[in-house]
Structure 1
Amino acid sequence: METVGARRTGIALTDRQRIAWLRLIRSDNVGPATFRDLINHFGTAETAIAMLPELSRRGGSTRAIRVASEAEAEAELETAHRYGARFLGIGEPDYPPALRQIEAAPPLLAAKGNLSLTSLPAVGIVGSRNASISGAKFAAMIARDTGRAGYAVVSGLARGIDAAAHQASLETGTIAAMAGGLDQPYPPENLPLYAEICEGRGLAISEMPFGWEARARDFPRRNRLIAGTALGLVVVEAASRSGSLITARLAGEFGRLVFAVPGSPLDPRCQGTNGLLKEGAIVTTSSDDVLEALKPISGTEFFTTQQVEEPSWDEEKPIDVPPGDRERTIIVDALGPSPVDIDDIIRHTGIAAATVYLVLLELDIAGRLHRHPGGLVSISMTE
């Protein structure tokens, strides 16, 4: 079965926009969701950058916010160029279409290797680092068969199941999602495999800066890239508490299919996968289980996405009118340590949605707001 790749859509960033986007996402307290809100409110990254100190002050921060400089952004772009990589903006044609659809998708993605892989539907394969021989063989079989059917295989370059999946799909196309910068692959024993991926038919992607060494808290972000890039996720072996289960949870939240390979109840490496089956994951005992389930969603219609671009403000840029102190106090008082929906804040306070969103943006840039899955927000009470 030959699957159909994505129709490439989107608008390329200008060099000036790419530098501004990189400056914005590398500035303090600006994550993917905040980046999106800033662009939506101010129209361009350059305008948002200029407003960051004022937003931070209005949000209650007593410290100056660090804003990435143009020189820093240019230096990182030069590092990427020397490394043979490039930065993909979320609205550009080479950005992975499925990843573009998730909540808080990375606005910029560093990529090295075969960019044509982003036009293929992808299957994620993850599992235990301490994989059994049979588990590694099964992961390799799934990777080979789905690769031959026209899918890219995406995984996290970890030892065990990840490595087996990458190795088996080197010829057909494999994508390594990285927890650190593209120049800081982990673990060390997979450096030869990483070189094969980047220099052959594979692709490596990361949202982290060059030079960034992966820490424990960076791996869930990496897992989000795997779950978001793939149409379905196959979990081969996973303990009851493992990163693979985090990836599976994210895949479910993103509306992806979750496949789990059953294993012995006596094997701790199978407790997580058996648990996923109890929760409704698709029982997977052959590659056909995966291919048949993915067939209906692998066509080009799945990849129909809205284009994302910075508007071109030919006339005047939007005017930022600060909320009044009374409105800001009401909104802050409505928040607490428990996550709430922004629509509930609007209904509770009776304040215009645009004003509520702007106050939340101020708190966010000041480092006081916490974002949660599903668009929920909360505020720290230890001010």
Structure 2
Amino acid sequence: MPNGSARRSGIALTERQKIAWLRLIRSDNVGPATFRDLINHFGTAEAALEALPELSRRGGSSRSFRVATVNDAERELEAAHRFGAVFVGIGEPDYPPALREIDAAPPLLAMKGNRKAATRPSLGIVGSRNASVSGAKFAAMIARDAGTAGYVITSGLARGIDTAAHRASLRTGTIAALAGGLDRPYPPENIGLLEEIVSGEGLAISEMPFGWEPRARDFPRRNRLIAGASLGVAVVEAANRSGSLITARYAADFGRLVFAVPGSPLDPRCHGTNDLLKQGAIVTTSPADVLEALAPLSRDDLFSRPRSDVEVKKPAVEEMRPGSGTPADGDRARIVEALGPTPVEIDDVIRHTGLSASEVHLVLLELDLAGQLCRHGGNLVSLVPAA
């Protein structure tokens, strides 16, 4: 059973580093995985920023590449300050320890509320927006008992199960992961709930820019935050092809526990959870099922190893070294020829071409920044299909 104490390790970014990191992640075609590879290759965000236009050109882009400016970053930092929020980097003490460990974790999170909640062990709870009375009641039971046991409850501020989980854990601590900017919560009817969360023991987090209105394609990123920040995810009522099942899939990919509450086969809201049980999810008929399974994962030292202020997860095979030479045109062509519309493992591309990991990753960066590369889970990449 966790004691609820915060696990805080890491080194704070300087103001200059934070501005550079914010500029890099807000530049064209730079997502978390690209950010990681750029830092690993160039050593600092400042050096990576200088290289972006040339990398994009070498990747085949014919248009001007937009690099976020210092003024852009300073304006967003000021917007966060006015809103009562801060940006926390992946190597800083208040970054969620479990989220830090996933592949391509967000380099920066916007946070508002009690940041100590981010460093405590978390249980994710998700489910149907049109929840049944019994489903909402059971989600609240899990949230209440887990909160009493020392866990923070992480969910997505949606209607139904999410709302029930957040409300049941207001006193013990809850994290709302948002699909849009912190200043653009969704749905509107839960704005009051969000205010209760951030004014008490809870926290709101987002990887999206301030002012960003959430779109349908942003919600899977929100679901990824929930799964990544949690030791396990409990799914209470989920229809087939629902966002809750996306969260469960992310949780399984990250090696997290997946709990599913069985339901009537006649209720479409339970089809997804029942399928999760067939796939090996933990049968959950009481909060005790969750707490017993989480207990071995809840040591205070589980994610306590320190990181430097610029360290992010490195490629598994070979670290890309700052200052590596530019691949020859023939080598670049070999890498591009090895790719196609079907996702392949980067390690397989390295073996197939016989080139170094550093060269392959640099060419992938060029293609990525030019908008020619798709990144998939499990270290897979593919070329963007021709229009």
TM-score normalized with structure 1 length: 0.96
Say if 1:127 and 1:238, in contact at 8 Å, map to a contact too.
Answer: yes
Structure 2 unaligned regions, length at least 5: 312-320
The aligned amino acid for 1:206 is S
CA distance in 2: counterparts of 1:142 and 1:310, whole angstroms:
37
Match of residue 285 from structure 1: 285
CA distance in 1, matches of 2:129, 2:82: 32
Matches within 5 A, 1:105-144: 105-144=105-144
1:357 maps to 2:353: no
Structure-to-structure mapping, 1:311-330, within 5 angstroms:
318-319=322-323, 321-330=325-334
How far 1:343 moved relative to its partner?
1.4
Letter in 2 for 1:37: D
In the alignment, is the contact (CA less than 8 A) between 1:6 and 1:120 conserved in 2?
yes
1:371 alignment counterpart: 375
Cα shift readout 1:156-187 (whole Å, capped 9, x = no counterpart) = 00000000000010000000000000000100
Residue deviations 1:95-122 (CA, integer Å, cap 9, x gap): 0000001111000000000001122100
SS in 2 for 1:300: coil
Does the Cα contact within 8 Å between 1:6 and 1:303 map onto a contact in 2? no
TM-score, normalised via structure 2 length: 0.95
State the partner residue of 1:91: 91
Q: 1:274-317, CA deviations, whole angstroms, 9 ceiling, x for partnerless residues?
A: 11111111111111101010000101232134514338xxxxx9
Aligned to 2:8: 8
Quote how far apart the aligned CAs of 1:8 are: 1.1
CA distance in 2, matches of 1:192, 1:309: 35
Distance 1:249 1:5 in 2: 29
**Equivalent residue number for residue 51 of structure 2:** 51
Give the aligned residue type for 1:340: V
Structure 1: which 5+ residue stretches go unaligned?
Answer: 312-316
Mapped contact 2:240–2:272 kept (Cα < 8 A):
yes
- Measured on the aligned residues, the alpha-carbon RMSD in Å equals 1.3
What is the rounded CA distance, in whole Å, between the counterparts of 2:122 and 2:32 in structure 1?
22
- Cα distance between partner residues in 2 of 1:380 and 1:138: 43
How far apart, in 1, do the equivalents of 2:386 and 2:100 lie? 35
Paired with 1:319 and 1:19, the residues of 2 have a C-alpha distance of 23
Task: In structure 1, give the amino acid aligned to 2:10.
Answer: G
Q: Determine the C-alpha separation between the residues in 1 that align with 2:323 and 2:237.
A: 54
What is the rounded CA distance, in whole Å, between the counterparts of 2:119 and 2:384 in structure 1? 41
**How far did 1:381 drift?**
4.6
Give the whole-Å Cα distance in 2 for the aligned partners of 1:334 and 1:134.
52
Task: Tell me the alpha carbon deviations over residues 191-244 of structure 1, each in whole angstroms, 9 at most, x when there is no partner.
Answer: 110110111111000000000010000000000000001101010110112000
What letter is aligned with 1:243?
G
Contact 1:56-1:363 at 8 Å conserved across structures? yes
Indicate the larger mover: 150-159 or 329-338: 329-338
- Which residue of structure 2 aligns with residue 314 of structure 1? none
Q: CA deviation at 1:320?
A: 5.1
Q: Compared with structure 1, are the counterparts of its residues 244 and 285 closer, same or farther at alpha carbon in structure 2 (3 Å cutoff)?
A: same
Give the 5 Å matches for 1:48-197: 48-197=48-197
Query: Offset at 1:147?
Result: 0.3
Matched, 1:334 2:334: no
| d(CA) in 2 for partners of 1:85, 1:324 | 46
Shift of 1:7: 2.7
CA distance in 1, matches of 2:385, 2:117: 46
Q: Following TM superposition, by how much is the alpha carbon of 1:349 offset from its aligned partner in structure 2, in angstroms?
A: 1.1
Shift of residue 3, structure 1, vs aligned partner: 3.1
Map of 2:299 onto structure 1: 299
Alignment match, 1:245: 245
User: Residue 101 of structure 1 contacts residue 305 of structure 1 at CA under 8 Å; is this kept in 2?
Assistant: no
Q: Does the CA contact (< 8 Å) of 1:174 and 1:202 recur in 2?
A: yes
The aligned length equals 378
- In structure 2, the partner of 1:310 is 310
**Helix, strand or coil for the counterpart of 2:302?**
helix
For 1:195 and 1:318, how far apart are their aligned partners in 2?
44
- Tell me which amino acid in the other structure corresponds to 2:335: I
Say if 1:153 and 1:175, in contact at 8 Å, map to a contact too.
yes
1:217 matched to 2:217 = yes
Q: CA deviation at 1:24?
A: 0.2
Tell me the secondary structure at the aligned position of residue 139 of structure 1. Answer: helix
- The equivalent residue for 1:20 is 20
| CA–CA distance in structure 2, aligned partners of residues 320 and 51 of structure 1 | 13
Q: Assess if the C-alpha contact under 8 Å between 2:7 and 2:301 holds in 1.
A: no
| 1:255-288 CA-partner distances (Å, limit 9, x unpaired) | 0000011111111111111111111111111111
Equivalent runs, 1:196-207 vs 2, <5 Å: 196-207=196-207
> Structure 2 CA distance, aligned partners of 1:280 and 1:116?
33
SS in 2 for 1:109: strand
Give secondary structure in 1 for the equivalent of 2:378: helix
